[in-house]
Amino acid sequence: MDPPVAAGKATRLMTLADNETRDRFRHFLTIPTRWMDNDVYGHVNNVTYYSYFDTVINQYLVSEGGLDINQGEVIGIAAESLCRFQRAFTFPEVVQAGLRVSHIGNSSVRYEIGLFHEGEHDAAAAGYFVHVFVDRSSRTPVAIPAAIRAALTPLSIAD
Amino acid sequence: MDPPVAAGKATRLMTLADNETRDRFRHFLTIPTRWMDNDVYGHVNNVTYYSYFDTVINQYLVSEGGLDINQGEVIGIAAESLCRFQRAFTFPEVVQAGLRVSHIGNSSVRYEIGLFHEGEHDAAAAGYFVHVFVDRSSRTPVAIPAAIRAALTPLSIAD
Amino acid sequence: MDPPVAAGKATRLMTLADNETRDRFRHFLTIPTRWMDNDVYGHVNNVTYYSYFDTVINQYLVSEGGLDINQGEVIGIAAESLCRFQRAFTFPEVVQAGLRVSHIGNSSVRYEIGLFHEGEHDAAAAGYFVHVFVDRSSRTPVAIPAAIRAALTPLSIAD
Amino acid sequence: MDPPVAAGKATRLMTLADNETRDRFRHFLTIPTRWMDNDVYGHVNNVTYYSYFDTVINQYLVSEGGLDINQGEVIGIAAESLCRFQRAFTFPEVVQAGLRVSHIGNSSVRYEIGLFHEGEHDAAAAGYFVHVFVDRSSRTPVAIPAAIRAALTPLSIAD
């Protein structure tokens, strides 16, 4: 629904390193694991990592960018996401979710996220998440609201 | 599977007040909400409250009672739970989960939980959760391990 | 928020038997378990049973009672729920969720739910769920819409 | 943990088309949405799509490949996943999850998944999921068990 986002995949992937480290992220949120995050293999289920992703992103947008998830005319919806799983999280534990922005377009943003164990420099998991901002009713892409763009800019890393 | 737990329901219910307050709980855990906790009505889904319940309980058992959820021979499984929903939580927000113990039997424990908005004295939701401790393999009830019993005792309120 | 619902707890509890059976439910929905429903103990997490509860309820309200979860002026919100866990579900498996109505008030409904393994007569878990119908904006109780009341009536059992 | 999996990303991505269609999948599983799958925007949360992914995969491995998730010595853990979201799912609705295999290595498998609305030829979402098979205790990669390999082979598409 936002062709420029889909273009240039190879280029964009280059900003996600095989070994992500804590210093490459610009904002952090602490997310404690929950009992039910664990699956039958005794570690946090792969699906739940994506919940950490959209929690750090949306919490930032709400608190720093003024996103109004209940009433706002513009909302961000997921276009694409990816995660690489390297070392497991478990319950109980505190996940430190790092966030940066690798691309800001007219209506879309590509975030990159690293999930860290406490006290570790290397990410246990890392990935990206692309938001397209749309009109709440029509779900057609719109320009990123100015307040959100202003909040995202300090999270940018050089492409 | 643990008949004494099921008996005397009316009596046990009396320890859960219509209006629970912060001073009636003995241990607290901070649980931030997540983006996907919200449902289509813009507040945390009722199901997720129970995840806050078993998170505060199991985190306490692991950190204070030595529960080994991956390898231990004795595990606690849910026998019954209840929640009364009074005021909604939303995302983003921090839930303060209060825990106390209203009954310790031979193999079962009844916890009571209050969920509080930050800075509020009255619970936004409250309920109970009954654990039966069982052998991991046979799933038959066993006596509560001594370390867990010792950890639970300080959380008790007079019946 | 709906005092008549809270009154008479003892009476209402009497409609939930210690051993619920398939013949006591009026509507069934098939809910396959999902991989992540399982927790570290190799069975479906207690929290997830409540998701089966509100799924069978809301699916019925949408398909039979015309509930419009996205735009309707009246929505049903959870006031209280309870579950008794007797035999575990696991993944992969199909849960058969039985639904009946034990009380219809002016603005509230008490549903009772039984969760069954395929081919079994006795419930593996059973509980209740109380909905209060409210105005979507003000969240104050309103009369149950006529179409929903008409849909619920055939699910009633004698109190 | 399985270097050959990480290599050749560009090549592997080529098997996931921008517009995936029903005829390109070899196995289907029906997954009804649940009430809590919906998020505040009135559609299924992005995170939950990944739950559909690992449900169709693991259900197939259990029923066709003899994967024993509770006791087996070899388990499959997630190494990487991706999803492209094109059209939303909602509750209530039935998701038809299509599965194929685009790569079988010594210890790893790359699945591709398409999620379809009933009666639609084009996927509403599509992605991939890489499993690495490991020893349950040591979590080191092992050869894919023969029964699982035999079950996966009919799902393969030409690279």
Provide the shortest C-alpha distance from residue B76 to chain C (in Å). 9
Q: Could you list the pLDDT tens digit for every one of the 159 residues in chain D? A: 333 334 344 444 558 998 999 999 999 999 999 999 999 999 999 999 999 999 999 999 999 999 999 999 999 999 999 999 999 999 999 999 999 999 999 999 999 999 999 999 999 999 999 999 999 999 999 999 999 999 999 999 865
Answer yes or no: do A47 and D50 touch at CB < 8 A.
yes
Answer yes or no: do D58 and C36 touch at CB < 8 A.
no
B119 residue type, one letter? G
d(CA C31, CA A16): 38
CB contact set of A139 (below 8 Å; sequence gap of 6+): A1, A77
Domain residues for the domain of A133 are 3-155
d(CA B143, CA A64): 51
Q: Could you list the pLDDT tens digit for every one of the 159 residues in chain A? A: 333 334 344 444 558 998 999 999 999 999 999 999 999 999 999 999 999 999 999 999 999 999 999 999 999 999 999 999 999 999 999 999 999 999 999 999 999 999 999 999 999 999 999 999 999 999 999 999 999 999 999 999 865
Q: Which CATH number characterizes residue B24's domain?
A: 3.10.129.10
Q: Tens digit of pLDDT for each residue in C23-67?
A: 999 999 999 999 999 999 999 999 999 999 999 999 999 999 999
Answer yes or no: do B58 and A92 touch at CB < 8 A.
yes
Answer yes or no: do D36 and B42 touch at CB < 8 A.
no
Q: Tens digit of pLDDT for each residue in B40-94?
A: 999 999 999 999 999 999 999 999 999 999 999 999 999 999 999 999 999 999 9
Cα distance from N-terminal residue to C-terminal residue, chain C: 23
Tell which of D55, D67, D81, D89 to mutate to test the C interface (max C CBs under 10 Å). D55
Provide the shortest C-alpha distance from residue B4 to chain C (in Å). 13
Show residues of chain B in contact with C78, CB under 8 Å: 46, 85
Looking at the 3D structure of chain C, how many domains does it have? 1
Q: Are C39 and B58 in contact (CB under 8 A)?
A: no
Tell which of B30, B33, B39, B55 to mutate to test the A interface (max A CBs under 10 Å). B55
Give domain status of residue C64, yes or no: yes
Given a contact as 3+ CB pairs under 8 Å, which chains touch C?
A, B, D
Q: Tens digit of pLDDT for each residue in B7-46?
A: 344 444 558 998 999 999 999 999 999 999 999 999 999 9
Q: For residue B139, is it left (φ>0), alpha (ψ between -120 and 50) or beta?
A: left
Within 10 angstroms of residue B113's Cβ, the number of other Cβ atoms is 29
pLDDT value at residue D9: 47
Least confident of A2-6, A82-86, B108-112, C74-78: A2-6
C22 residue type, one letter? R
Residues C13-21 have a mean pLDDT of 83
Show residues of chain C in contact with B34, CB under 8 Å: none
Q: What is the pTM of this model?
A: 0.93
d(CA C87, CA C83): 12
Residues C127-132 have a mean pLDDT of 98
Answer yes or no: do D40 and B45 touch at CB < 8 A.
no
Answer yes or no: do A34 and B31 touch at CB < 8 A.
yes
Answer yes or no: do C59 and D35 touch at CB < 8 A.
yes
Provide the shortest C-alpha distance from residue A114 to chain C (in Å). 22
Q: For residue D66, is it left (φ>0), alpha (ψ between -120 and 50) or beta?
A: left
Q: Is D42 on the interface with C (CB under 8 A)?
A: yes
pLDDT value at residue B4: 37
Q: Is B48 on the interface with D (CB under 8 A)?
A: yes
Give domain status of residue C4, yes or no: no
Show residues of chain D in contact with C59, CB under 8 Å: 35, 91-92
Q: Is D47 on the interface with A (CB under 8 A)?
A: yes
Q: Are D31 and D125 in contact (CB under 8 A)?
A: no
Closest partner residue to B47 (CB to CB) among D36, D42, D45 is D36
Contacts 24+ apart (CB under 8 A), A67-71: A67/A148, A69/B38, A69/B42, A69/B91, A69/D40, A69/D41, A70/B42, A70/D40
d(CA C2, CA D147): 57
Show residues of chain C in contact with A45, CB under 8 Å: 35-36
Cα distance from N-terminal residue to C-terminal residue, chain A: 23
| Dihedral of alpha carbons C30, C45, D136, A18, sign | positive
Q: Tens digit of pLDDT for each residue in B124-139?
A: 999 999 999 999 999 9
d(CA B113, CA B100): 7
Q: Is B137 on the interface with C (CB under 8 A)?
A: no
Within 10 angstroms of residue D44's Cβ, the number of other Cβ atoms is 26
d(CA C17, CA C2): 25
Answer yes or no: do B35 and A42 touch at CB < 8 A.
no
Closest-CA residue to C148 (of C98, C90, C101, C113): C101
User: To the nearest whole number, what is the mean pLDDT of chain B?
Assistant: 91
Q: What share of chain C has pLDDT > 90, as a percent?
A: 86
Contacts 24+ apart (CB under 8 A), D61-70: D61/D148, D61/D151, D62/C91, D62/C92, D63/C92, D64/D151, D65/D145, D65/D147, D65/D148, D65/D150, D65/D151, D65/D152, D66/D145, D66/D147, D66/D148, D66/D151, D67/D148, D69/A40, D69/A41, D69/C38, D69/C42, D69/C91, D70/A40, D70/C42
- Interior CA angle at D65 toward D63 and D67, to 5°? 80
d(CA B65, CA B63): 6
Note the ipTM here. Answer: 0.91
